[in-house]
Amino acid sequence: TRPFGTGQQRDDLCDIASEIGGPVDVAAWSYSAHAALALAIERPDLLRSLYLVEPGFPTFVTDPGAAARIEADTMAAFGPVFGALSDSDLDSALRHAIDGAAGRPGWFAAQPEAIRQIHRRNAMMLPLLLHQTPVIPLTEDDLRQVRCPTTVAWGTQTRLCYRLVSETAARLIPAARPSQLAGNHLLPEAAPEMIAADIREHLRRVCHAP
Annotated domain spans of the chain: 6-63+137-207, 72-130
Q: Which CATH number fits domain 6-63+137-207: 3.40.50.1820, 3.60.90.10, 3.40.50.720, 3.40.50.2000?
A: 3.40.50.1820
Name the pLDDT band for 22 (thresholds 50, 70, 90).
confident
User: What's this model's pTM, rounded to 2 decimal places?
Assistant: 0.95
Calculate mean pLDDT across residues 145-158: 98
Q: What's the rounded Cα separation, in Å, for the pair 89 and 83? A: 9
Does 115 score more than 70 pLDDT? yes
Q: What's the rounded Cα separation, in Å, for the pair 82 and 130? A: 8
Name the pLDDT band for 126 (thresholds 50, 70, 90).
very high
Strand partners for 24? 47
Strand partners for 83? none
- Cβ 44 vs Cβ 147: under 8 Å: yes
Q: What's the rounded Cα separation, in Å, for the pair 106 and 97? A: 11
